[in-house]
Amino acid sequence: MAWRHAIVTGSASGIGRAFAQALAQQGAVVGLVDVSADGLAATADSIRANGGRAEMRVADVSAAAPLATAIEELVSALGGLDLVINCAAILGPGEWANQSPDSFERVIRIDLIGTANVLRAALPALKRSRGAAVCLASTAAVHGWPGLGAYSAAKFGVAGFCDAVRPELARDGVLLTSVFPLLIDTPLLQGADIPRILRQGRRLPPDVVVQKTLAGVARRRPRVFIPGSVRFVAALHGIAPSLLDWYGRRFGL
């Protein structure tokens, strides 16, 4: 499926940058949103250097009003909107009892509330185009990760939010896809104090996540698990979550 106008949040680096670059290579005009002006400029430059078109706005997804203005401006600059991809997120690692309330709440504001803010701001344009929205959840939204309590809570929230509003948006022809990848090899993880088993585990190349996500959206899938084995983890969590708890204790999660 060829996307013509797309907005990607968290596109100053990592998976957001990878999505923006891939969409531009496929011919989309891409709107970039992030809090890092320098990172956005680098992403935009990389797109333009390859003949693509990109517009950028510096905005914090947790600040609803300024974000709505930024997205409205981007929709106008792009000439429309048929795809929005929510990648903006922070990790907030550390054991929950040692984490300050402000730190915990910041993860929730950016990762969960920010996702809802982006979708709300983009929804009028998506209704007009009968387009699609993608929200990056995580394997942490399938079974919570000790040491990443705030992140797990936020991503469970993203998954539940998508399940709840998906049928509402479908009435207006808007597809909402939630994505559940394993750890992605991006700057988000660099220097992060994550559990040992996650440090040792395989990290997904960003281009693999991009490819499989866009393929899933093209097939109008409500959920995309990357790799497919994550679907088994989700099923196991529903049937026998104690087995996942045991696995975590046994192997250092």
Give the active site residues. Answer: 151
Q: Are 30 and 57 in contact (CB under 8 A)?
A: no
Residue 11 near residue 21, CB atoms below 8 Å: no
The answer to whether residues 178 and 222 touch, using CB atoms and an 8 Å cutoff, is yes
Beta-carbon neighbour count of residue 168 at 10 Å? 10
Closest to 74 measured CA to CA, from 28, 15, 114, 25: 28
Q: Is the peptide bond before 241 cis (omega within 30 degrees of 0)?
A: no
User: Of 123, 16, 11, which Cα lies nearest the Cα of 72?
Assistant: 123
CA–CA separation, 179 vs 91, rounded Å? 17
Report the SS3 class of residue 223.
strand
In the block, tokens 């440090």 appear at: 199
Going 64 to 65 to 67 to 73, the CA torsion angle's sign is positive
DSSP letter at 143 equals: S
- What single-letter DSSP state applies at residue 112? I
